């Protein structure tokens, strides 16, 4: 007794599989622009994170200096 899934698997195994890599020009252009946008967006986020990190460290340093001066009482 064959199950429905097994019959489907056998039918798929018996059939030939065709993979087409042909793309029309519009979709290739769209994918290229989308990929380029993702790369540029990633670079922009990276640069933004560097700036934010720099200001975070500046803020931490000022916070420590302020607390140190308050503890010294000067």
Q: Where are the domains of the chain?
A: 43-74
pLDDT confidence of residue 61: 95
pLDDT confidence of residue 14: 74
Encoded tokens for 57: 């460290």
Q: What is the separation of C-alpha 64 from the centre of its chain, rounded to a whole number of angstroms?
A: 35
Per-residue pLDDT of the chain (74 residues; tens, 9 = 90+): 568 878 777 777 777 777 776 777 788 889 999 999 999 999 999 999 999 999 999 999 999 999 999 999 85
pLDDT confidence of residue 2: 63
Distance CA 48, CA 36 (A): 18
pLDDT confidence of residue 43: 98
The single-letter DSSP state of residue 73 is T
């Amino acid at each position: 007794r064959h199950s429905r899934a097994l019959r489907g698997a056998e039918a798929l195994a018996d059939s030939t599989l065709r993979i087409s890599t042909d793309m029309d020009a519009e979709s290739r252009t769209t994918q290229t622009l989308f990929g380029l946008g993702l790369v540029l967006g990633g670079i922009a986020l990276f640069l933004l994170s560097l700036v934010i990190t720099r200001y975070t460290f500046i803020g931490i340093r000022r916070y420590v200096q302020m607390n140190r001066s308050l503890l010294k009482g000067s």
